[in-house]
Each structure stands twice: as structure tokens, then as C-alpha cells.
Structure 1
Amino acid sequence: MSKPRALVVLVPLLPALLLTACGTEGGRGSGPGAGTVSPDLPLTGTHWTVDRVTVGGSASGAPDGARVTFGKDGRVTGSGGCNTFNATVTVRGDTLTASPGPMTEMACSADRMRFEEELVKVFSGRLKGVMGNDTLTLTSPDGRNALALTAERPAPLRGTTWKIDGLVSGKTATSLPAGSAGKARFVVGEDGRVTGNLGCNNFSASARNDATTLTIEGPAATTRMMCASPQMTLETKLYELLDGPLSYRIDHRALTLTDASGEGFTAVAVEAAASTDGR
């Protein structure tokens, strides 16, 4: 008696049926890419200039100085063009969740204060991020609020107004003497001259630079005003430092200059419109 032919046909079909079932289990739909998760937005270590803020469908252009920086461990710092703020963020795929932190409380013009309030309001809670080559757009779930940003380029040594904000001794950084902050700044011009203010008096000097060293050639010429003691103390220190070669390092918009002994100062890039002394 011959064997039933039906068994010979059905058995080879079972593995194919099992493979088909396993292949679809756990998917999030059909078609190419089903079940995949979008990679996290690569925001750590990026710097952005704020272009505009949209609240309730109404857009406002940003003032000079409005920016957002994404640091490590979800920490964010920024400015609305007047005050600085901090926040923490978590990123999951293309969704960013922002939690506002401390903010300074300086008084500025009404327009800047209004923009700042809108910026902080929008940069809060869940936001969907879309990145282009040099752009980032963060939009609220309902699409009515949005933040448009453009990648901020590192500041070049030449042509940038650098505001001196600290002193360096070896690996130790200290604040400027009390009462002397805010005025000391300088510009390395394309013509090879350095001009600026040392905290009290304006100065100018010839200079040259390569990729790592700025060399002041000869003593700086200065005006002869007398100022308060803290400003004169800072000026004396800076005048001594600006006498010979200085190693420099730029970290985006922060500059550190030191001499051979490790003595030096730090500075930050400022907007051209904010520079009124020593230009």
C-alpha cells in the first residue's frame, strides 16, 4: 500500500510559515523600515544663533546676541539678547524635552524683554526637532510655537571683538579684579594691528600671528588717562602680558592667551555692535 502523498507536501511548508510569522512579529507596520527608531538628534556640543521665535503662529525676529548652546550631559546655556539662561534637555529620536533652569534678571529694552519671554516660553516642554545642513527647527506638538536656529560659526582670531573676562595663572583661572570688568577688550585687525582697551586706556600695537601664537611686536602705545584702582591694576597686568609672544587657543567663541610662564587671560567674542571702546 502506498504512503499518503499529502504528508510529503505539507511538511516542507511548515518552516516557510514559521519564518513568515517570525519576520513580522514585533514590527510597527508594513513596508520598508517598519519597526525602526529614528536616531537621536546630534545636538551635544553644537552652537546655534536664534533667527526667530514663533508663538501662537506669530513670528518675531531675534535681536543680536540671541543664541543657544547644547553642552554635555543635557545641559543647555543660552541668551535672549539680554539675559542668559540655563536649561536641561533629554533627546529621544527627533523629540527634545526641555526643562528651563536659572536665568539672570537684567533689565533691557521692552522689545528685547518681550522676545526673551517668548524664547523661554517656546524652549520648554516637548519639541520636535528637524535638522538641516546648518539649521535647526524646534516645533511644539500643536505646531503653533517654534524656534528657528542657524549653526553658529566659531569666532576667528582676526576681526573679532574679544572682551577680556578673566585671568589665568598656570591651570588656575580667576575673575577680573572687582570693579574692573566690562571695558577691557581688543581686536586683532586684518592689517596686523591690535587695538582695544586695557581696562582704562585705549591701546594699539603691531602684531603677527600663526595658528597657535600671537606675537605683539614692541611696546603698546596707550592713552594716559587715570582711572579707579581696580581698572589700573588690571591695565598694568594686561600691559605686561601684551609684551611678546602669547600662545592662544580658541574654543568656539572663547579665547585663552598665555605667555611662556603660563600667565595670561581669557576673553569671549562679542557682537560688533556691543563694542564701543578701543575700536
Structure 2
Amino acid sequence: MLTLRTSRTRTRALIGTAVLPLAALATVTACGDEKAGSTSVGGAPITGVHWTVQSVTVDGKATKAPGSAYLEFVSDERVRGNYGCNHFDAAARVTGDSVDLGKSKRTMMLCEDKGVRAFEDTLSRALADKNTVKRADGRNDRLTLTRANGDTVTLAEQRDAALAGTKWNVTSLSSEDTTRSLPKAAQGRAGLVFGKDGHVSARLGCNQGRAKATVKDGHITFGPLTSTRMGCIGAAGEVEKAMLDVLKNKAAYEIQGKGLTLTKPDGSGIGLTAADSTPGR
């Protein structure tokens, strides 16, 4: 089992940062969901809160974040999150006015969207230095992380969307080491709605379907899917095949803010976003 340790020797650059598959990072996460105390800024806690990355400002230029980018201050010695495509889990030193990330573990997904790749580089560089933490505009649900050179990461508190009753739109497809946005021709055509009756309704790309969905211990077990049988080719067909693969049996699920991931044991899966949330570009 991989273990993160805080060291007096801090890793400042991402060169040499450990990389690992998402499944291995999940093991790291499972090993330590400790919340050692509650670090506060401006009298309100920042630990145990899902902080969505809104933007990063470098050299005076602000770049809007992808909807999947977030930070979570797990404790005053650990921070985890998503750079926009890849997840990370880092040793840290978090105080009431600063955050200093140390050596980190990160996934090594090949992100096909060039804009997301560029944002990942920008955010990871910003977080590889010590940042001053402040409440933005005096609001408890906004934070700014500011480097000594003035570069700023803006964060907003985001409550996790409910699994049941939310309209989830499929926004990305992933294999063990690659994630990519849906082809334009298939965007808006695929999604899931989990009902409180223990079933899921699915828009598959071309066809519509329904199946039993049993949620337990971070996994969803899907029953046999009944669906229409229209022929489906091209981009929509590709998305439909990926969805059918996920809905065959059992998948791990995770909700972070407005994002939902369903992952098969082989590491492939789909990413979904709550319908009232549009991922940034």
C-alpha cells in the first residue's frame, strides 16, 4: 500500500513527482481519509470542504478552470484534488494563512484536450509553491491561494451533487491511462438519471434504456438493461458502446462537487457532470 509522508525536505518542482494509475491513487486515498483537526481561515474551516477551482491567474492573465479541477484539504498535512484531468494526492503543511504542498502522487492520464492539458500545467506549477490562503471578498465560500510572485488560484466551495434525482450528462470517456472529452457530434446525447426507486434511466447516445441500480460501499451494481434497439454509428455509437460497457455489471462511483465518475475494474469508465453545471474551458 502506498503511503504519503510529510518530509522536512519539500519537493518544489513537479519534476520527479510520482505518477501512478488512477486505481493505485484510489488505494492511497482509501488508506488515509483522516481529518486531523479542522484548519480555519477567517474563522471558518477549510478542511473537509470540496473547493472547486474557478480560475488561475498567472502574470495578470486569468484562465478559467475545467469543471473537474478541485482541491480538498483533507487535513493540515494532506491535500488532494484534480488538476483538470489528472488526480493528485500530496503531503502538505496547511496553516491558518498558508498551504505548502510537498511530495505528491498523481495519476498519469493522457488528456487529449489541449486546453485542459495547458491548464493542468498552469495549476500544478502554481500549487508547487507555498501559497498564502485568504477568504475572497470576506466570503466563507471563496478562497484565494496566492504565490509570492502574485500568481493566484481562485477557489469556490462546492457541495457534492446528489446521486439520485440529478440529471447527469456524460462529458468524458476514459481508459486506464487516457481521458478525453466527448466528440462534438455526441455531446448532450448521453446521460444518466438515478431514481429513488433503485433504477437508472439512461440516454446512451442513440438509444434509451433502464436498469436496476444498487448502490453500496462506493459501487453501483447494474442489473440487466432494457433499451430501444436503434442502430448507432459514428461518435454517438462510440459513446453508447462505452456506456453499455460501464452499465454491464458493477462500477465504482465517486462524486466530487458537480462531477460524477463511474469506473470499471479495468480502469475504463465515463465522466459525467450535473446538468446545471457547465464545465469550464
The normalised TM-score by structure 1 is 0.51
**1:127 lines up with 2:131 in the alignment:** yes
1:45-79 Cα offsets, whole Å, 9 max, x none, are 11111111011222111122221222246322222
Shift of 1:127: 0.9
Deviations along 1:160-198, one digit per CA (max 9) or x if unpaired, are: 4288xxxxxxxxxxxxxxxxxxx99731379x9841279
Amino acid at match of 1:112: V
Q: Does 1:115 align with 2:122?
A: no
Kept in 2, the 8 Å contact 1:193–1:204? The answer is yes
Aligned residue type for 1:195: S
Is 1:188 the equivalent of 2:194? yes
The aligned residue for residue 169 of structure 1 is none
Picking from 99, 114, 117, the partner of 2:102 is: 99
Distance 2:55 2:243 in 1: 38
Alpha carbons of 1:108 and 1:251: their partners in 2 closer, same or farther (altered >3 Å)? closer
CA contact (8 A) 2:142 2:157 kept: yes
Residue-by-residue CA offset, 1:114-173 (whole Å, 9 max, x unaligned): 11111001112211111222101011123x21100111122122124288xxxxxxxxxx
d(CA) in 2 for partners of 1:83 and 1:204?
31
Of residues 77-86 and 148-157 in structure 1, the stretch that sits farther from structure 2 once superposed is 77-86
Gap regions ≥5 residues in structure 2:
1-38, 171-181, 183-189, 214-221, 232-241, 263-268, 276-281
Q: Distance in 2 between matches of 1:250 and 1:117?
A: 24
Distance 1:149 1:81 in 2: 14
Other structure's SS at 1:114 match: helix
**1:60-79 alignment to 2 at 5 Å?**
60-72=63-75, 74-79=77-82
Checking the alignment, whether the CA contact within 8 Å between 1:40 and 1:91 is kept in structure 2 is: no
Q: State the AA in 1 paired with 2:78.
A: R
Confirm or deny: 8 A CA contact 2:161 2:274 kept in the other structure.
Answer: no
- Root-mean-square deviation (CA, aligned residues, Å) is 4.9
Amino acid at match of 1:271: T
Match of 1:86 among 78, 84, 89: 89
Of 210, 221, 227, which residue of structure 1 is paired with 2:226? Answer: 221
TM-score by length of 2: 0.51
Tell me: CA distance 1:76–1:269, structure 2 relative to 1, closer, same or farther (3 Å).
Answer: farther
Q: Give yes or no for contact 1:155–1:269 (8 Å, CA) kept in 2.
A: no
Is residue 148 of structure 1 aligned with residue 154 of structure 2?
A: yes
Which of the two has higher C-alpha Rg? 1
Partner of 2:209: 203
Q: Is the 8 A contact 1:100 1:124 kept in 2?
A: no
Listed as ranges, the matches of 1:48-59 within 5 Å are 48-59=51-62
Aligned amino acid, residue 196 of structure 1: A
The verdict on how the C-alpha distance between 1:234 and 1:140 changes in structure 2, with shifts beyond 3 A counting, is closer
Q: Is the 8 A contact 2:208 2:228 kept in 1?
A: yes
CA contact (8 A) 1:88 1:100 kept: yes
Could you tell me whether the CA contact under 8 Å between 2:51 and 2:71 is conserved in 1?
Answer: yes
Structure 1 residue 103, shift from structure 2 partner: 3.8
| Aligned residue identity for 1:98 | L
Percent of aligned pairs sharing the same letter: 31
Give the whole-Å Cα distance in 2 for the aligned partners of 1:231 and 1:63: 22
Distance 1:236 1:103 in 2: 26
